[in-house]
Amino acid sequence: MTSTYSLAVVAGDGIGPEVTEQALKVLDVVAQGSGLTFDRTAYDLGARRWHATGETLPDSVLEEIRGHDAILLGAVGDPSVPSGVLERGLLLRLRFELDHYVNLRPSKLFPGVPTPLADPGDIDFVVVREGTEGPYVGNGGAIRVGTPHEVATEVSLNTAFGVERVVRDAFARAQARPRRKLTLVHKNNVLVHAGHLWSRTVDAVAAEFPDITVDYLHVDAATIFLATDPARFDVIVTDNLFGDILTDLAAAVTGGIGLAASGNVNPDRTAPSMFEPVHGSAPDIAGQSKADPTAAILSAGLLLDHLGHAAEAARITAAVEADIAARDGQPRSTQEVGEAIASRVAAEVSVA
């Protein structure tokens, strides 16, 4: 069987292009011998284009991207652009327009990875972060800007439709994992309207999944457990903003954002899903071949998994695990890490 996929590549800003190059290299090695072909279209979006044209994501480009099977994204954001312009106009616009309501962020402590925790335990959980609602909707504004009478608002929008679909997705994922545990994280003692919608929805869906253990944590308490006992978590489901915060912390305790992959998934497949490292554009080290491409490479693995190629995805994870186990603390360039992982993927094939 051969399959050809069209891939939209948005390398973006800062270290985005460097790490994406390595992810594509590994993807190509996996593809060879698996009967898979990835036809790539590169989209020049991000700071450079904004400076040149004032555009973040033109409608016509969005429609072109929509025609692809999947999107690989590097990183978005640059200090030369006012904060929020590219994040809201490009990254979040893609997530919202393509209905990426499941923002999937696995956290696993690979053997041999240095962690800031003295006694991390066996960390292996996944955060299902809602991706199209909450405080991220961009529904807010300000009056009397720049005066002593300025008032600025941000509105968190939450719908039964939006909460239920992501909660169902999280339950299905918990069902497929050995521990079958789901933790809702919110702040329902303060944000009572949104919080109670989330809590009621989890309670209702839980009735259909009697073999799943469900618990609830306030977001502040959840950060404590991520520092003191992260191994307790299996599947976390949470809103867009809390998920943003928790997954950076989760990345920190599992060895840093150099390793954290993510998928912006449209489970209904009405539009392409998008895969990206959790890290940002890190402009301070851009262009110096210092960035760790592992998170981007693992994101390509999530992409393969989403397209139905679990075995190929597993090859990437195995190669990354082996590479990590062999790391000796010597600095390697972005390219060297990419090459090393690509060679391991290639070697796996010849062994198999």
Show binding-site residues for substrate: 95, 105, 129, 220
| 154 counts as binding ligand IPM under rule CB under 6 A | no
- Is residue 244 annotated as a catalytic residue, yes or no? yes
Amino acid at 157: L
Exposure letters 167-200 (e unless 16+ CB within 10 A, then b): bbbbbebbeeeeebbbbbbbbbeebeebbebbbe
Which residue ranges make up the annotated binding site? 95, 105, 129, 220, 244, 248, 280-292
Candidate list 44, 215, 220, 268, residue with the active-site label: 220
Query: CB–CB of 264/103 below 8 Å?
Result: yes
| 93 counts as binding its own copies under rule CB under 8 A | no
Total residues contacting its own copies by CB under 8 A comes to 68
d(CA 20, CA 134): 29
Stretch that binds its own copies, among 33-41, 142-150, 292-300, 344-352 (CB under 8 A): 142-150
Query: CB–CB of 199/167 below 8 Å?
Result: no
Which residue ranges make up the annotated binding site for NAD(+)? 280-292
Candidate list 187, 239, 305, 323, residue with the active-site label: 187
Stretch that binds ligand IPM, among 33-41, 87-95, 171-179, 228-236 (CB under 6 A): 87-95
* One of 223, 289, 335, 343 touching its own copies (CB under 8 A): 223
* One of 36, 70, 182, 194 touching its own copies (CB under 8 A): 194
- Is residue 181 annotated as a catalytic residue, yes or no? no
Angle between helices 294-306 and 310-325 (to 10 degrees): 160
Which residue ranges make up the annotated binding site for Mg(2+)? 220, 244, 248
228 binds, among ligand IPM, its own copies, none (CB under 5 to 8 A by kind): its own copies
Q: In the bound complex, what is the minimum distance in angstroms from residue 218's beta carbon to its own copies? A: 9
Candidate list 13, 99, 239, 244, residue with the active-site label: 244
Residue 58: CB atoms within 10 A of its CB come to: 12
| 203 counts as binding its own copies under rule CB under 8 A | no
Query: CB–CB of 263/275 below 8 Å?
Result: yes
| 121 counts as binding its own copies under rule CB under 8 A | no
Nearest to 114 by CA among 328, 334, 346, 340: 328
Residue 217, CA distances (Å) to 185, 226, 270, 280 in order: 5, 11, 32, 27
Which residue number has the CB closest to ligand IPM? Answer: 87
| 329 counts as binding its own copies under rule CB under 8 A | no
- Is residue 248 annotated as a catalytic residue, yes or no? yes
Query: CB–CB of 323/52 below 8 Å?
Result: no
* One of 7, 91, 104, 307 touching ligand IPM (CB under 6 A): 91
| 208 counts as binding its own copies under rule CB under 8 A | no
DSSP state of 182: E
Which residue shows structure tokens 């393969």? 304
Residues with catalytic annotation?
136, 187, 220, 244, 248
